[in-house]
């Protein structure tokens, strides 16, 4: 018996902004349409096999909508790397293929997403203006109480505002803590904190 071929699918979750990688055997994929969820449970990639075509419904981090794309079942099950892109942003939104090429492509996409995230923030564009505004004022309160520190022992830090997150970085060791600033839930979880600890390069005993 031939060893069962595996396929790897990947996308960026719009809810938690993590790269999601899913591995399924060709048999699993061919057997039925599958919902392939992000571990956060807030988004999922859907794959439906329709005879000789495959239809994918992909949640898109870049434009916030779902994209429906199709390809031949042959390509879906055998190509080394298939990339599907978001028409609104021109960036890729989904990869299907062999494990190695898919991981490499996803890593490049995550880098591009990171750059965009920082650029938009620098230009004052935010996913949710109100949430970002409240988050920053909450951070200011925590900072005024001297509640921000790094495990390396430093209490000096820098702040970078992104499109849907805030990066706190330690001025001494350079460690970065990313705080999501996209939803009311993100705001709630920051509001209940009195101190923030950046996980630095060296833990102090």
In the bound state with Zn ion, the residue whose beta carbon lies nearer, of 38 and 102, is: 38
Give the dihedral of Cα atoms 58, 166, 177, 153; nearest 10 deg.
180
Please report the DSSP string for 87-142 in residue order: TTT-SEEEEEE-HHHHHHHHHHHHHHHHHHHHHHHHTT--S-HHHHHHHHHHHHHH
Site for Zn ion in 101-130 (CB under 5 A): none
CA-nearest of 74, 48, 190 to 133 is 190
Q: Which stretch binds Zn ion (CB under 5 A): 10-18, 104-112, 114-122, 178-186?
A: 10-18
CA-nearest of 191, 164, 163, 196 to 177 is 196
Nearest-approach distance from CB 123 to Zn ion, in angstroms: 20
Report the chain's terminal Cα–Cα distance, integer Å: 56
By CB under 5 A, name the one of 9, 12, 13, 29 that touches Zn ion. Answer: 13
In the bound state with Zn ion, the residue whose beta carbon lies nearer, of 13 and 45, is: 13
By CB under 5 A, name the one of 86, 109, 127, 135 that touches Zn ion. Answer: 86
200 lies in the site for Zn ion, by CB under 5 A: yes
Q: Which stretch binds Zn ion (CB under 5 A): 16-24, 101-109, 113-121, 180-188?
A: 16-24
Q: Which stretch binds Zn ion (CB under 5 A): 12-20, 75-83, 122-130, 157-165?
A: 12-20
């Amino acid at each position: 018996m031939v060893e069962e071929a595996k396929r790897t699918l990947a996308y960026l979750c719009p809810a938690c902004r993590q790269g999601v990688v899913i591995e399924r055997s060709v048999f699993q994929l061919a057997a039925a349409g599958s919902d392939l969820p992000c571990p956060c449970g807030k988004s999922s990639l859907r794959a439906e096999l329709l005879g000789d075509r495959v239809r994918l419904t992909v949640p898109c981090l870049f434009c916030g909508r779902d994209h429906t794309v199709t390809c031949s079942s042959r390509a879906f099950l055998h190509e080394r790397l298939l990339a599907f892109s978001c028409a609104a942003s021109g960036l890729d939104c989904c990869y299907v293929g062999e494990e190695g090429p898919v991981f490499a492509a996803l890593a490049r996409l995550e880098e591009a997403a990171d750059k965009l995230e920082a650029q938009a923030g620098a230009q004052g564009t935010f996913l949710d203006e109100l949430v970002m505004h409240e988050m920053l004022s909450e951070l200011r309160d925590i900072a005024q109480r001297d509640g921000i520190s790094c495990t390396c022992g430093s209490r000096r830090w820098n702040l970078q505002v992104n499109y849907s997150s805030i990066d706190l970085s330690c001025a001494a060791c350079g460690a970065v803590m990313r705080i999501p600033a996209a939803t009311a839930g993100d705001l709630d979880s920051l509001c209940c904190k009195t101190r923030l600890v950046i996980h630095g390069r060296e833990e102090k005993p």
